[in-house]
Amino acid sequence: MAPRPPLSARVRAVEVLREVLERGGRATAELAQASRGLSREDGDLLREIVLGVLRQRARLDAELSTASRVALTRLTPDLREILEVALYQVRHLDRVPAYAAVDEAVAHAKARGGVGAAGLVNAVLRNLLRRSPLPSGEGTGATALALLYSHPEFLVRRWLDRFGEETTRRILEADNAHSGLDLMTNTRRTDRARLAAALEADGVSTEPSWLSPLALTVLAGNPLRSPLFAAGHFTVQDAASQALPLLLPPGETLVDLAAAPGGKSFSAVLHGRARRAVALDRSVARLNLLRENRVRLGIFEVLPAAGDVLAAPLAPRGFERVLFDAPCSGTGTLRKNPEIRYRVTPESIARLARAQEEGLVAAADLLAPGGFLLYSTCSLEEEENEAVVERVLARRPEIEPAAIAVSGELAACVSGNRFQILPASANDGFTAHLLRRVTG
């Protein structure tokens, strides 16, 4: 039997979307798996299609629904994604000829569902090719913006109430922007300027980020293919996440809870905010990744430890610095994790807020008198941030807010004990609060 020909990037895109949308997979992990064996060009195309469909799905489906005689939710497996992938290429990718996208979609549909499926896909796509794209729309309400930017309407509505229309539009636009990697310079090996120059020689273009003196944002190229990665000259870490340890006063020992794969622990040591860090996580797989990073970077002051935040194998009131970056809804990270928008609900936010409260209480109980605790999330939602802190302060009267002292551009993101940066084209969104234990 002849070997099966390799699947094209477009066919693999359909498979990845099915894994993400129907089976709960993570887009970044599924893309890494599906990219194996592809050329760099096809790997880039696969990533562009998958992330593009996830960012534009509501608009794509609205247009497809005008031409399909069958409701999209009733189509046989894969057909909806085949249509979405083809239409995304037609409407958003200049380098992909429309006829090629349609022909491959029809062939894929025939292989998956027979002649009838191929006929439906052919009819829908060719019908849409004869039409102009849906108008971008000028609506300002939550319903119009949710469709325009493919976001949950409840999320858009609460952002409009909290941030106003102008800021909400900026967040939505940032969420749908192309996302690159952020790198954190390992100053044990090099400095930021020398790293940028060395990466440029390897075909990787970067620019410095204002958020962290160690951060570079990748503009073009794949830094993970550079030998500098294996040599430990940098690690991958969102620029805003790198900046979080800068909100802590310098100290001797930091406990980083839910720490793996260790980016904030490494950042704290490299930025001089801690001489050593105990990096606690309950996931053995993620701790193994932290250990690999520790060796690759040569930052042995980060000490991995297995344990749950709620029952940490650490001395109560024994640490002068604690960082709790809590598991959260991730509404500040839709730029890099667009699939979150199809999973987040008011109920899931409320459920996470309850877990965050218990985690923050446990983190506060590790804090020594006079010590500082930084509570952070990659969520923009008040329920997961301000409301959690307020309830914990009521439960632990010996804990109080502490003013964040930072300089430069970061200072514009600080209000008292709260730091918040909203999503932008070059960073995710984060919220953090600084607390202090005033008595034993």
Catalytic residue set: 378
| HSE of 251, CA atoms in CB hemisphere, 13 A | 25
Structure tokens at 69: 């005689």
